[in-house]
Amino acid sequence: VRSANVFCQQGCSIVRKSCRDKLRSKRVGVVAGSAHEKMLRDYFATVQVVTFDTPEDLYADLKAGKIDA
Protein backbone atom coordinates (compact mmCIF):
# COMPACT_ATOMS: atom_id res chain seq x y z
CA VAL A 1 0.00 0.00 0.00
CA ARG A 2 1.38 3.40 -0.95
CA SER A 3 -0.06 6.20 1.13
CA ALA A 4 1.21 8.83 3.51
CA ASN A 5 -1.62 7.87 5.86
CA VAL A 6 -0.76 4.18 6.19
CA PHE A 7 0.06 3.32 9.78
CA CYS A 8 0.56 -0.37 9.23
CA GLN A 9 -0.13 -3.10 6.75
CA GLN A 10 -0.15 -6.86 6.99
CA GLY A 11 3.37 -8.18 7.41
CA CYS A 12 4.65 -4.76 8.45
CA SER A 13 7.36 -4.71 11.11
CA ILE A 14 5.50 -2.13 13.23
CA VAL A 15 3.66 -4.88 15.11
CA ARG A 16 6.88 -6.56 16.24
CA LYS A 17 7.38 -6.78 19.97
CA SER A 18 10.14 -4.17 19.96
CA CYS A 19 7.82 -1.60 18.38
CA ARG A 20 5.15 -2.36 20.95
CA ASP A 21 7.75 -1.85 23.66
CA LYS A 22 8.77 1.52 22.18
CA LEU A 23 5.14 2.67 22.20
CA ARG A 24 4.41 1.38 25.73
CA SER A 25 2.61 4.05 27.77
CA LYS A 26 2.95 6.61 24.98
CA ARG A 27 0.07 8.87 24.00
CA VAL A 28 -0.73 7.93 20.40
CA GLY A 29 -3.14 10.02 18.36
CA VAL A 30 -5.62 8.61 15.87
CA VAL A 31 -8.71 9.81 14.06
CA ALA A 32 -11.77 8.62 16.00
CA GLY A 33 -13.56 5.65 14.46
CA SER A 34 -10.73 4.89 12.04
CA ALA A 35 -9.14 1.54 11.25
CA HIS A 36 -5.99 2.89 12.93
CA GLU A 37 -7.88 3.37 16.17
CA LYS A 38 -9.17 -0.21 16.03
CA MET A 39 -5.70 -1.56 15.27
CA LEU A 40 -4.11 0.35 18.16
CA ARG A 41 -6.75 -0.83 20.59
CA ASP A 42 -6.52 -4.44 19.34
CA TYR A 43 -2.74 -4.82 19.08
CA PHE A 44 -1.20 -2.11 21.28
CA ALA A 45 -2.98 -2.48 24.61
CA THR A 46 -0.25 -0.60 26.48
CA VAL A 47 -0.55 2.67 24.53
CA GLN A 48 -2.77 5.54 25.56
CA VAL A 49 -5.04 6.03 22.56
CA VAL A 50 -6.00 9.68 22.08
CA THR A 51 -8.75 10.21 19.52
CA PHE A 52 -9.30 13.27 17.35
CA ASP A 53 -12.18 14.38 15.17
CA THR A 54 -9.93 15.41 12.28
CA PRO A 55 -6.39 14.69 11.08
CA GLU A 56 -5.65 18.40 11.35
CA ASP A 57 -6.46 18.36 15.08
CA LEU A 58 -4.22 15.31 15.52
CA TYR A 59 -1.31 16.95 13.68
CA ALA A 60 -1.71 20.18 15.68
CA ASP A 61 -1.45 18.32 18.99
CA LEU A 62 1.48 16.26 17.71
CA LYS A 63 3.29 19.42 16.67
CA ALA A 64 2.51 21.03 20.05
CA GLY A 65 3.90 17.99 21.89
CA LYS A 66 0.56 17.04 23.46
CA ILE A 67 0.83 13.49 22.08
CA ASP A 68 3.89 11.31 21.47
CA ALA A 69 2.98 9.75 18.13
What are 25-62's pLDDT values in tens digits?
999 999 999 999 999 999 888 999 999 999 999 999 99
DSSP sequence for 20-67: HHHHTT-EEEEETTSHHHHHHHHH-TTSEEEEESSHHHHHHHHHTTSS
Q: Is residue 22 very low, low, confident or very high in pLDDT (cuts 50, 70, 90)?
A: confident
Q: What is the structure's pLDDT at 10?
A: 46
